[in-house]
């Protein structure tokens, strides 16, 4: 597993029934413990400046697909710090060969943190929190990636 | 299963210390070997981090866990768990749901040979006070904890004071219920007397005297041997370790001191926490005479 949150391994177009329907990449959890899916706050994928909102993004945890709506209620499925999640993004035609600038925002709640650090403003996946704490990682991670 | 018989305060390591390295440059076995190098015999894990396929590990993984304990002569001491009752965005878990989450952890802790759990409470304010129904949640889990011989221990950590209402509420709960399955884990951050220049200190913090431990000792089953700064001649410069260890020894306390390094610098590139852990274990080895 790479130290960066967005992994270079796992970045490719998604082909379904012979058709390119989107692309996928992997993220690791930049926290010291795993989380249940309902703890996640997922945000926007930005690919080469184009924004793709969370309704068009699927999280795949241990081989199982989850929509943002499904994750909201799921406090039984656990995402481990050792297993990157696969993020599947709908984009007919996928991405062209070559470089792409990718950004993705997500963060997560913690029951032991004071409520003031847990509200919607503090845990906005698309903006950084007021104070950066390394053990919670950045909300938005960016990386220049290559599609072959 | 490996068992270390020494009485009195004993050395162990909380795997939390390896947070920035675990899964990237250190495997679970690397952590075990590192602890073995230090001659420490106790381990604390974080359930949600170090157990593969948590909360439902395979039998193969559990076998591997016991193999590691035997190979490196390490005793499972404390299982770090969270009562994550704020896990949903739109409502708190009900007491029943929280009890279910907690008892799942108790069963798993017992399956892995642990005797204590560092049970992290969900909080409701900046003073880190626990949810109002914490007593009901703990009471709901006590029969299972009793059956499996597990002690649930909230951690008392800076800025909380050993003489605070929060600690009193926990002790009163133990007295009222008469339970032996709930107690305290004291984090040595409560004894910190020195801070670096310009460092932010919570205005609510008042350092405890090591003697303040004495009335609580019957309820303390594990300690977090917190350390902030180890000098090159193996002394902790911010926490009065010699006095703390003396209080524990003089009063016949028996249990593990689990090293927990919390400094944010452990996330710096190239940082290796074992350098700090090893220095601290030289200090503790000297103080404990082992």
Considering CB atoms only, which of B49, B82, B267 is closest to A112?
A: B82
Q: Mind telling me the catalytic residues of B?
A: 157
Interface test with A, best of B123, B202, B261 (most A CBs within 10 A): B123
Share of residues in chain B with pLDDT > 70 (%): 100
Distance from the Cα of B85 to chain A's closest Cα (Å) equals 7
In a domain, A142, yes or no: yes
Is A34 within 8 Å of B48 when comparing Cβ atoms?
A: yes
Whether residue B4 lies inside any domain: the answer is no
pLDDT digits (tens, 9 = 90+) for B36-81: 999 999 999 999 999 999 999 999 999 999 999 999 999 999 999 9
For residue B3, is it within any domain?
A: no
Report if residue B277 sits inside a domain: yes
CATH number of B198's domain: 3.20.20.150
Predicted confidence at residue A69, as pLDDT, reads 97
pLDDT above 90: residue A79 = yes
Does A112 contact B54 at a Cβ distance shorter than 8 Å? no
Distance of CA B63 to the CA centre of its chain: 24
pLDDT value, residue B126: 87
Range of the domain at A134: 6-147
Domain count, chain A: 1
Structural domain for B227, as ranges? 9-288
Going by pLDDT thresholds of 50, 70 and 90, the confidence category of residue B158 is very high
Between chain A and chain B, how many beta carbons pairs sit less than 8 Å apart? 81
* ipTM reported for the complex surpasses 0.90: yes
Q: pLDDT digit string (tens) for B85-136? A: 999 999 999 999 999 999 999 999 999 999 999 999 999 998 889 999 999 9
Are B66 and B113 spatial neighbours (Cβ–Cβ below 8 Å)?
Answer: yes
The reply to whether B168 falls in a domain is yes
For residue A26, list chain B residues with Cβ-Cβ distance below 8 A. Answer: none
pLDDT tens digits for range A33-43 = 999 999 999 99
Number of domains in chain B: 1
- Whether B2 maps to a domain, the answer reads no
| Whether the Cβ atoms of residue A58 and residue A87 lie closer than 8 Å to each other | yes
Q: Residue A111 falls within a domain, yes or no? A: yes
A39 contacts B87? CB cut-off 8 A: yes
Q: pLDDT category, B186, cuts 50, 70, 90?
A: very high
Quick one: pLDDT at residue B206?
A: 97
Radius of gyration over alpha carbons of chain B, in Å?
18
- Probe site for chain B from A1, A7, A33 (most B CB atoms < 10 A): A33
- Is B197 among the domain residues? yes
Q: How far off is chain B from A116, nearest CA to CA, in Å?
A: 8
Element containing residue B63 per DSSP (H, E): helix B59-71
Give the pLDDT confidence of A82-139 residue by residue, as tens digits: 999 999 999 999 999 999 999 999 999 999 999 888 988 899 999 998 889 999 999 9
Mutate to test the interface with B, among A2, A4, A37, A112 (most CBs of B within 10 A): A112
Spatial neighbors of A31 by CB under 8 A, at least 6 apart, are A81, A108, A135, A136, A137
Does residue A11 sit within a domain?
A: yes
pLDDT (average), residues B260-267:
95
Residue A11 to chain B, least CA–CA distance (Å): 19
Please state, in angstroms and rounded to a whole number, the distance separating the CA atoms of residues B13 and B176. 33
């Amino acid at each position: 597993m790479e130290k960066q949150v967005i992994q270079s391994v796992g970045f490719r177009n998604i082909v379904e029934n012979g058709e390119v329907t989107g692309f996928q990449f992997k993220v690791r959890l930049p926290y010291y413990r795993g989380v249940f899916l309902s703890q996640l706050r997922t945000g926007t994928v930005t690919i080469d400046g184009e924004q793709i909102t969370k309704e068009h993004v699927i999280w795949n945890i241990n081989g199982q697909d989850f929509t943002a709506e499904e994750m909201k209620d799921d406090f039984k499925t656990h995402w481990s710090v050792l297993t990157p999640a696969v993020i599947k993004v709908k984009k007919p035609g996928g991405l062209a060969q070559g470089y792409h600038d990718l950004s993705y925002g997500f963060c997560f709640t913690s029951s032991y943190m004071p409520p003031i650090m847990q509200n919607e403003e503090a845990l906005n996946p698309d903006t950084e929190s007021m104070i950066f704490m390394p053990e919670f990682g950045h909300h938005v991670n960016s990386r220049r990636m290559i599609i072959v | 299963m490996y068992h270390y018989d020494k009485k009195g305060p004993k050395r162990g390591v909380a795997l939390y210390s390896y947070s920035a390295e675990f899964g990237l440059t250190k495997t679970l076995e690397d952590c075990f070997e590192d602890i073995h190098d230090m001659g420490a015999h106790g381990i604390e894990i974080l359930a949600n981090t170090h157990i593969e396929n948590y909360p439902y590990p395979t039998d193969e993984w559990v076998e591997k866990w016991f193999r590691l304990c035997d190979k490196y002569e390490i005793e499972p001491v404390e299982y770090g768990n969270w009562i994550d009752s704020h896990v949903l965005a739109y409502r708190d878990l009900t007491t029943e749901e929280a009890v279910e989450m907690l008892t799942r952890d108790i069963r798993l802790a017992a399956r892995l040979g642990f005797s204590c759990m560092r049970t992290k409470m969900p909080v409701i304010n900046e003073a880190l006070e626990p949810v109002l129904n914490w007593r009901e949640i703990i009471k709901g889990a006590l029969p299972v904890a009793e059956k499996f011989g597990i002690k649930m221990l909230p951690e008392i950590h800076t800025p909380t004071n050993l003489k605070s209402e929060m600690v009193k509420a926990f002790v009163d709960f133990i007295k009222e219920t008469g339970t032996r399955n709930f107690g305290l884990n004291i984090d040595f951050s409560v004894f910190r007397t020195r801070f670096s220049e310009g460092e932010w200190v919570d205005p609510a913090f008042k350092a405890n005297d090591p003697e303040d431990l004495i009335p609580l000792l019957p309820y303390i089953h594990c300690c977090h041997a917190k350390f902030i700064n180890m000098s090159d001649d193996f002394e902790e410069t911010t926490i009065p370790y010699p006095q703390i260890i003396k209080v524990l020894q003089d009063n016949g306390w028996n249990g593990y001191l689990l090293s927990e390094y919390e400094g944010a610098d452990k996330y710096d590139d190239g940082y290796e926490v074992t350098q700090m852990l090893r220095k601290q274990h030289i200090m503790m080895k000297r103080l404990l005479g082992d």
